[in-house]
Amino acid sequence: MGKKADIDWGKLGFEYMKTDLRYISVWKDGKWDEGKLTEDNMVSISEASTVIHYGQSCFEGLKAYTTKEGKIQLFRPDLNAERMNESCDKLLMPHVPEEKFIDAVMQVVKANEKYVPPYGSGATLYIRPYLMGVGHNIGVKPAPEYIFGVFCIPVGPYFKDGVSPCNYIVLDDYDRAAPHGTGGNKVGGNYAASLQAHAVAAEKGFADCIYLDPATHTKIEEIGAANFFGITKNDEFITPKSPSILPSITKRSLLYIAEHYLKMPVYEKEVLIDEIDQFKEAGACGTAAVITPIGGIHYKDNLHVFHSETEVGPITQKLYDLLLGIQLGDVEAPKGWIFEVK
Ligand SMILES: Cc1ncc(COP(=O)(O)O)c(C=O)c1O
């Protein structure tokens, strides 16, 4: 293992930092070029790019982890590649072949090895692949050219003093996605559209807002930029099912872990906001924090508390420990979940 960058890993937050090299590839005349690593962290594009005017862009987020033995590994990057291509279909952008996507991620991690936080630091390397429509164009139509890029930054532990619950608020007058819109895809516009609701929730003192289903406002969809799960009083793992929820890779992994490691019944089904008292524990899940336990949900002038506003529930803690253990190589992973960076 080479020398590590001089960084106080435990103090890192989630902030941009220029690391050594990033990957860029261009799609033009119907095909991708080879792609290359570059030191230049500025991207120069036409003022008439569709990404600027019409939001023709999508992205992904995943992490690299250092194991106890010093190996560097990725967690299910094939699912990020697959999800990016689903976003491409939605926005009429060319696919990034899975091998190209994974190769680009591997190259970037390898080239920035000194920024991959060491085992035990709590920090990880966050990897951000993106794809955007560029080239000269003014009408509302797909771009003539595309840029696929991947960069990485070391990020700190989401919870600096151990996992602890957060409270969330249902904001009934905001929607994140339309019933047949882009909610199920990781496209840029979804995030621009979520900024105001997040700011309102934060101003009211909550970690983020909870989005209900846009058609009826009766079912839980997303918790800010994370998926929801609840543990019922009968020890079942339940997570909402809807085409306008982003299919979280963490959520899909937790469904598997709950079923196969903890032998719990698991269900993906509608979760009515009026029936949240069926849950003794609840959490928000995503790559950033793995799991953020939900202390309480504020809905219609009432704060519904699950397990506790200060303590993590026992099943949530087990799920967290197992998934993070798999990501760090401390717990045996299901076949195909771990990709070593060599
Ligand atoms: C809207 C939204 N929901 C859920 C998630 C969690 O997905 P994942 O577990 O793949 O990070 C994310 C983050 O990527 C997100 O942006």
In the Cβ-directed half-sphere of 139, how many Cα atoms lie within 13 Å?
3
For atom 4 of ligand 1, the residue with the nearest CA is 226
Using most ligand atoms within 8 A of CB, pick from 76, 227, 242, 249 the residue to mutate for ligand 1.
Answer: 227
* Whether 144 and 189 share a structural domain: no
Instruction: In whole angstroms, give the CA distance from residue 66 to residue 319.
Output: 20
Residue 97 · residue 35 · CB < 8 Å: no
Ligand 1 pocket, residue 244 CB under 6 Å: no
Q: What's the structural domain count of the chain?
A: 2
* Whether 120 and 193 share a structural domain: no
Q: For the chain, first and last CA: distance in Å?
A: 11
Residue 256 · residue 326 · CB < 8 Å: no
Return the CATH number at 72: 3.30.470.10
* Whether 244 and 135 share a structural domain: no
CA of 139 to the centre of ligand 1 (A): 31
Indicate the residue among 99, 132, 155 that finishes a domain: 155
Q: What is the pLDDT of residue 47?
A: 98
Ligand 1 pocket, residue 112 CB under 6 Å: no
For atom 1 of ligand 1, the residue with the nearest CA is 225
Give me 204's structure tokens: 């009211």
Task: Tell me which residue has tokens 């919870």.
Answer: 159
Q: What is the pLDDT of residue 162?
A: 81
Evaluate whether residue 338 is within a structural domain: no
* Whether 146 and 220 share a structural domain: no
* Whether 46 and 123 share a structural domain: yes
Ligand 1 pocket, residue 49 CB under 6 Å: no
Instruction: In whole angstroms, give the CA distance from residue 289 to residue 130.
Output: 21
Evaluate whether residue 333 is within a structural domain: no
Indicate the residue among 106, 125, 155 that finishes a domain: 155
Instruction: In whole angstroms, give the CA distance from residue 247 to residue 292.
Output: 17
CA of 174 to the centre of ligand 1 (A): 19
Indicate the residue among 124, 155, 186 that finishes a domain: 155
Q: What is the pLDDT of residue 119?
A: 97
Ligand 1 pocket, residue 225 CB under 6 Å: yes
CA of 142 to the centre of ligand 1 (A): 25
* Whether 88 and 233 share a structural domain: no
CA of 32 to the centre of ligand 1 (A): 27
Ligand 1 pocket, residue 286 CB under 6 Å: yes
Evaluate whether residue 3 is within a structural domain: no
Range of the domain at 302: 166-328
* Whether 231 and 173 share a structural domain: yes
Ligand 1 pocket, residue 248 CB under 6 Å: yes
> What single DSSP character describes residue 278?
G
Evaluate whether residue 216 is within a structural domain: yes
* Whether 131 and 272 share a structural domain: no
Ligand 1 pocket, residue 245 CB under 6 Å: no
Return the CATH number at 291: 3.20.10.10
For atom 15 of ligand 1, the residue with the nearest CA is 225
Beta bridge mates, 128: 151
Instruction: In whole angstroms, give the CA distance from residue 58 to residue 90.
Output: 10
Evaluate whether residue 2 is within a structural domain: no
- Name residues whose C-beta falls within 8 Å of residue 232's C-beta, 6 or more positions apart in sequence: 238, 278, 279, 280
Pure H helices in 14-124: 50-53, 77-90, 98-111
Give me 6's structure tokens: 């001089």
**Given the CA of residue 62, which atom of ligand 1 is nearest to it?**
11
**Given the CA of residue 183, which atom of ligand 1 is nearest to it?**
1
**Catalytic residues, which ones?**
186
Q: What is the pLDDT of residue 1?
A: 57
Evaluate whether residue 161 is within a structural domain: no
pLDDT in tens, the chain (342 residues): 578 999 999 999 999 999 999 999 999 999 999 999 999 999 999 999 999 999 999 999 999 999 999 999 999 999 999 999 999 999 999 999 999 999 999 999 999 999 999 999 999 999 999 999 999 999 999 999 999 999 999 999 888 778 899 999 999 899 999 999 999 999 999 999 999 999 999 999 999 999 999 999 999 999 999 999 999 999 999 999 999 999 999 999 999 999 999 999 999 999 999 999 999 999 999 999 999 999 999 999 999 999 999 999 999 999 999 999 999 999 999 999 999 999
CA of 227 to the centre of ligand 1 (A): 7
Q: What is the pLDDT of residue 69?
A: 97
